[in-house]
Amino acid sequence: VTCRGNDRKAIFQDDADRRRFLQILAQSLTSYTVNLYSYVLMTNHFHVLLETPLGNLSECMRRFNITYTGYFNRRHKRVGHLYQGRYQSLLVDKDAYLSILSRYIHLNPVRVKPLDKAPFKEQVNYLVHYPWSSLPGYLHKSKKVFYVEYSLVLGEYGGDTDRARREYQKALLAEIGQGTGLKEQVVGQSILGSAEFITSVTERFLVAEKDRERSSHNALRRYCMKGDLLKAIERETGKNLETLSIEKGEVRQLAMELLYRRGGLRGPEVGRLFGVDYSSVSQERKRLHEKLRKHRKLQALLDRIEQRCQ
């Protein structure tokens, strides 16, 4: 979940604001039975990684944001909105992305100007001493706070131990200065997870659509065609994704084209399936289009695969 200041203005004026923010956050977590895995407070926005066992994110965020806004306005003698509209949120597959997103959140302090251009050692020093995130408790057991759940993320590194904390820090520092690629993996502007997770969520929760949500849901439904397309390609050609990720040729080009055009996947998403970058996907699709104009058998194969997915 992310909230940004209205007109990109600061939502924290000093450390007193940050301390009060965390107090209200801790109270809200208890009141609404919400688990907090990671957080970071920046000058004009914050990120929190939450789990809502009761499915009550809206209620929790509404109470939390109203309470902090009221405090902030009273203390600084102001009126009006503090945040830029409603909070932004993604539904996340925690089995696949919990640790990745935790590191993404913790790296925020060195991904903003001018720190993003600073020498590596300076970035490391700034990051490990940044006090307004949950990172200190991930690096040092003595700095844990009661309202953050550390064990699930650290479990991927061996548990709530000193060794696991060193491994987490090692993974974190290795990503300094590196792109995340997370934005390209978000489907329908609302969900981040494995193909199986996306399919499960779509089938369970997106049957009844509201008109205003239709475009996002349609994107999720298109994404779920990926599995059907790959099965159809394998039936017609005998080649599965594992084979196509190694072999080059017309069938691989067909697969890229169909996943892009019929599956709703973008270039970077298709590229990850085949172990190439998005520019390679674009070039392969262009070559295929040239071949399709000349070779009827290839066009017929494309048509048969599409018919299997009707």
Determine what percent of the chain is predicted with pLDDT higher than 90: 56
**Stronger pLDDT, 78 or 282, i.e. the higher one:** 78
Query: Looking at residue 238, what is its pLDDT?
Result: 92
Q: What's the pLDDT tens digit per position in 179-213?
A: 777 887 888 778 998 888 888 887 777 654 444 44
Q: Is 153 buried (19+), middle (13-18) or exposed (0-12) by CB count in 10 A?
A: buried
Residues in contact with 124: Cβ distance below 8 Å, sequence separation at least 6, in sequence order? 173, 176
Residue 217 has pLDDT above 60, yes or no: no
Determine what percent of the chain is predicted with pLDDT higher than 70: 93
- Segment 83-110 shows an average pLDDT of 93
Residue burial 17-26, b: 16+ Cβ < 10 Å; e: rest: bbebbbebbe
Look over the chain and give the mean of its residue pLDDT values, rounded to a whole number. Answer: 88
Query: Looking at residue 219, what is its pLDDT?
Result: 52
Which of the four pLDDT bands, split at 50, 70 and 90, describes residue 29?
A: very high
Q: What's the pLDDT tens digit per position in 122-172?
A: 999 999 999 999 999 999 999 999 999 999 999 999 999 999 999 999 999
Q: Which residues pair with 47 in a beta bridge?
A: 2, 40
Q: How far is CA 288 from CA 69, 175, 251, 258, 285, in A?
A: 55, 36, 10, 11, 5
Of 9-18, 192-201, 228-237, least confident by mean pLDDT is 192-201
Query: Looking at residue 196, what is its pLDDT?
Result: 82
Are 229 and 269 within 8 A, CB to CB?
no
Residue 41 has pLDDT above 70, yes or no: yes
Query: Looking at residue 208, what is its pLDDT?
Result: 46
CA distance 34 to 295: 58
